[in-house]
Structure 1
Amino acid sequence: MDKRSQDKENKKDMEDVFLTSYNSLIPRNRIIFGAPGTGKSYTLNNDLQQLLGENNEDQYERVTFHPDYLYANFVGTYKPVMFDDSFENLTEAEKDILSVLTDKNKSAQEKYDLLYDKFKDGGLTRLPLLLGLYTDGDFTTRKAEGTAAVDNTVGRNHGKAISKYGNALRQYGKAMRQYVNLYKPESRKKDISYEYVPGPFMRVLVKALKNAMSDNPRPFVLLIEEINRANVAAVFGDIFQLLDRDSDGVSEYKIATTNDMRRYLSEQLGVQESKLESIKIPNNMFIWATMNIADQGVFPMDTAFKRRWDFTYLGIDDNDYALHGKYVMLSDNKTQKVEWNKLRKAINKFLADCKINEDKQLGPYFLSKDIIIPEQGDEINREKFISAFKNKVIMYLFEDAAKQKRSELFKGCSNDSTRYSQICKEFEQKGVRIFNRDIVSGCDIEDVGSKNDSSDN
């Protein structure tokens, strides 16, 4: 076997691991962005299903960025963890030994004889000390071949250096007992320990690399929701360098691994640490994200970061075909037959005429699909729609998108249009007529006769 074949067989040639036989024309680093409600997450999920197929839960992980999200959360770091030292965490063999040691109905000699077979292939010299921790009784010991020990009181097979202390081993066990936190079935001892805790990036990377070592490489995806809600330069850190991909989809440049990262990767991949002094992103790992540039409190992205991604823009009216013909009955006497999609577009036109950017306008699914797409028929549930419209649409327009145009936007309100509560109250009574007349005329209201309550969804 030549050196290259041997290295790959031993999972040592990481360059071969990074470049798998998996091929795809789909971008590895991808950001979908657009106005709120344009279906960014929905589109990403559909594309995910097409890429991974069915039964793919182990092939992707989803994370949502927020202002306090850090590199340690994303990649990994040492953290304090609770170490559960309880009885349930023992192996079956350890539980059997413990049950013998704690059996009050057995003498010390009976315990020794029962445990002899378990310890004679290794650890027989430690058995007297162990019994000394649990019992005050006397017992005689045997050698591994079954003959009586020279001392015949306590085994002395501890090596020449400590053979003269053989008689005292049981006494040492007794003396130490008060200082040792012994296992008991009812104990629930928990300690704090520190260990490397991987973040979502590292977890997906490990899965992708493990799979890359197999003969059947598959794609693995890290999904990042709201990527610009965190400071991406701080979150990605040196991982930023790995985002440059070559024509095969492998990171063009390596980054050096830290000691803790290298140790973790070595344990997970079964690769010598010396082969993991630097890493790349393999070509079977995808990083996809959504970005909402309209929201308050988002962080800017620098040009160097942006150029490492393929951006897909979802237009304000993309994917609205499922909304055509879906209507709701508004006003207090339920005489306004209004299509949500037409109302949304009329509001957007007004915002555009006011020089408000498209990314502040309303996407088709600004309200959730389970509200605006009925399970049966075309009529939207009135109560659910009114509640969602007040709490989401009016609130968003009032507090964000049209904050400087409230009086013009809500010109149909007969009372104070600068009070959110008053606008909501009038919406329940007047429906879309709370808005500017251009919006009212643009949404093609169909006035129908008064409907009785029995016709409601």
Structure 2
Amino acid sequence: MAYTAKDASTTLFRYLNITEQSIKVIENTNKRGFIYNTANGEKCVIFIYPISHKSDNSKNFFDTRDSGAYERGVSWNYALQNKLKYFCFAVHDQVEKYNDYVFSLECQEKIIEKVSGTLNGSRIGAGTQVVIPNDYIPNKQFERIFTKNGFFIAVIHRDNIIDYIDKYDNRPYLIDDSLIELDELETNDEDSSQSVALDDEYLSKLSRNRILFGAPGTGKSYKLNEDREKCFADGNYERVTFHPNYSYAQFVGTYKPKPKFRTDGTEYVSYEFVPGPFLRTWINAQNSIKSRTNKNYLLIVEEINRANVAAVFGDVFQLLDRKTDGTSEYEIATSEDMREYLIKECGFEADEIATIKIPSNMYIWATMNSADQGVLPMDSAFKRRWNFEYIGINQGSSKIKDSEITLKPYGTVKWNMLRIKINDGLTEAGVNEDKLIGPFFLSDKELKSLSIDEIFKSKLIMYLFEDVLKHRKGKIFKSDFNTFSKIIDAYNEGEEIFDFDVVSFLPDESNEESALGSVAEEPGKYSTENE
């Protein structure tokens, strides 16, 4: 039989030695949020979760993504509005290893929403629950474990829960060892390894405003993700892709309609301010500074030049000038809508957010490829606020050195050598380097696919014909093939389509290094500050 929220409430009431009749339930929380009087007479808000437990012990978690997300937010807001302490607890006394223990999720609501993919109780995208490590078995009076989501969970024996509530406040949890009297603060070694592994020294060498640029397939997104994994904890970043219709409202925030229900069950539409990825990242970074956890947060912008950046960034553009300490040189005034949201929903004081700056722990990294059709130009004022890092056409090619593909007209050939020969032909035809073929133009999965013939035709040949060689078909494809259909028909018949001998002229392995020449750049060699 499922262990329900009602079961969890009954268990927690027993641990706290209270009854349902003795507490005040917060409206619109389905009796999961309530007011509790602490041992010293202070009031606090408690929201309760049943630990979701699979019978095979394959997963144990707070179901923050689906269960009670709206009610949890109501409880959180009630605590903020009434300046009360707040706790999000989970229990499950029917699981032997969890019997007699309370799990306290030590994180503020807006961060939980972000990781869970929810907003004001509604799903807005992919997300995950807050997972308790499966192999974790509590056996102490008090300890703190670190989850893969980047959250701390305090694990308190029932005998110490009243003392814990008396001493702590999760709006959000403030790291202060002087408050800990229950037991020595400990962190589960396995789950904290990710935090320990973050490379702060490497991050200190990277710009806070950073754009990686280069030809298609040079691994720009891969490089950013590699650096992100090295320097930022899971859950401490957000990724957005710009497109021609992307706007300031989407990037920073705007009012959006949200369906709500009256007490009689009738539905109505309410308009609420919804933050965009920039403001969400700013809130997380600013809260981290306020709570003295000082974690770093990252906003990744893919294809930054496919939108009108001047329009998308708007007044935020002013914040991109950074001082030597990483904070914005200048500040901007917040709009009335933004200010109201930051005060009511995020717990900021009015004087804190009359104006804002980008904090030193907030990073904005982006990718761009000027070869894409329909890209929009950036003006020099915008460009000079970024550090541009060039990813060379052969950078990282050693990773695909041994990758082979079997193509109908040519048999099995090395992908990297074929790519180099195609690039040679493009260069001779006067094609700019930003349209050449990078090592990862075809992914590893595609190179190993049984459908590589179809992928080669639909992805590489089409790119060459439609995007690169609009007026130079005869310079790389045989002159008889002046239409795309002729090239594909010839390919399907096993005819050679390129205007060079693929097999005879491909360099062998001993000459591969010389074939790459001097353009196998080291990462960041062409990095330019304020380009």
> With structure 1 as the length reference, what TM-score do the two structures score?
0.64
Q: Is this contact kept in 2: 1:337–1:445, CA < 8 A?
A: no
Counterpart residue number, 1:197: 274
Instruction: List aligned pairs for 1:446-457, cutoff 5 A.
Output: none
Secondary structure of residue in 1 paired with 2:441: coil
Identity %: 49
How many corresponding residue pairs? 310
Deviations 1:100-127 (A, max 9, x none): xxxxxxxxxxxxxxxxxxxxxxxxxxxx
How far residue 272 of structure 1 moved from its aligned partner, in angstroms, is 2.1
Counterpart residue number, 1:75: 252
Matched, 1:316 2:383: no
How far residue 420 of structure 1 moved from its aligned partner, in angstroms, is 1.2
Q: Is this contact kept in 1: 2:476–2:500, CA < 8 A?
A: no
Deviations 1:153-179 (A, max 9, x none): xxxxxxxxxxxxxxxxxxxxxxxxxxx
Deviations 1:309-333 (A, max 9, x none): 111110001111121122223336x
Counterpart residue number, 1:401: 468
> With structure 2 as the length reference, what TM-score do the two structures score?
0.56
Q: If you compute each CA radius of gyration, which structure gives the higher value, 1 or 2?
A: 1
User: Using CA pairs below 8 Å that are at least 6 residues apart, which structure has the higher relative contact order?
Assistant: 1
Deviations 1:348-398 (A, max 9, x none): 0111111110001101111122122x4xxxxxx4x4211111001110011
Structure 2: gaps spanning 5 or more residues: 1-170, 172-199, 510-531
Amino acid at match of 1:442: F
Counterpart residue number, 2:315: 238
Distance (Å, rounded) in 2 between the aligned partners of 1:206 and 1:42 = 26
Distance (Å, rounded) in 2 between the aligned partners of 1:384 and 1:315 = 29
Q: Is this contact kept in 2: 1:336–1:445, CA < 8 A?
A: no
Counterpart residue number, 1:280: 357
Q: Is this contact kept in 1: 2:407–2:452, CA < 8 A?
A: no
How far residue 244 of structure 1 moved from its aligned partner, in angstroms, is 0.4
Secondary structure of residue in 1 paired with 2:472: helix
Amino acid at match of 1:211: S
How far residue 430 of structure 1 moved from its aligned partner, in angstroms, is 2.8
Amino acid at match of 1:417: F
Distance (Å, rounded) in 1 between the aligned partners of 2:325 and 2:501 = 53
Distance (Å, rounded) in 2 between the aligned partners of 1:445 and 1:46 = 31
Instruction: List aligned pairs for 1:99-118, cutoff 5 A.
Output: none
CA distance 1:325–1:25, change in 2 (3 Å): closer
Distance (Å, rounded) in 1 between the aligned partners of 2:505 and 2:391 = 23
Structure 1: gaps spanning 5 or more residues: 1-10, 12-20, 86-181, 375-380, 447-457
Q: Is this contact kept in 2: 1:342–1:442, CA < 8 A?
A: no
Instruction: List aligned pairs for 1:299-378, cutoff 5 A.
Output: 299-331=376-408, 336-372=411-447, 374=448
Q: Is this contact kept in 1: 2:209–2:386, CA < 8 A?
A: yes
Distance (Å, rounded) in 2 between the aligned partners of 1:429 and 1:371 = 22
Q: Name whichever structure is richer in strand by fraction.
A: 2
Deviations 1:388-432 (A, max 9, x none): 110011100110111111123211x7xx5122122112223336x
Counterpart residue number, 2:17: none
Matched, 1:61 2:248: no
Distance (Å, rounded) in 2 between the aligned partners of 1:204 and 1:77 = 15
Matched, 1:28 2:205: no
User: Residue 229 of structure 1: which of 290, 306, 316 is its match?
Assistant: 306
Secondary structure of residue in 2 paired with 1:341: helix
Amino acid at match of 1:365: F
Secondary structure of residue in 1 paired with 2:412: strand
Deviations 1:203-243 (A, max 9, x none): 11111111111222111001101000000000000100000
Amino acid at match of 2:413: V
Counterpart residue number, 1:42: 222
Secondary structure of residue in 2 paired with 1:194: strand
How far residue 258 of structure 1 moved from its aligned partner, in angstroms, is 0.7
Counterpart residue number, 1:436: 499
Amino acid at match of 2:442: L
Counterpart residue number, 1:424: 488
User: Residue 373 of structure 2: which of 296, 305, 317 is its match?
Assistant: 296
Secondary structure of residue in 1 paired with 2:482: coil
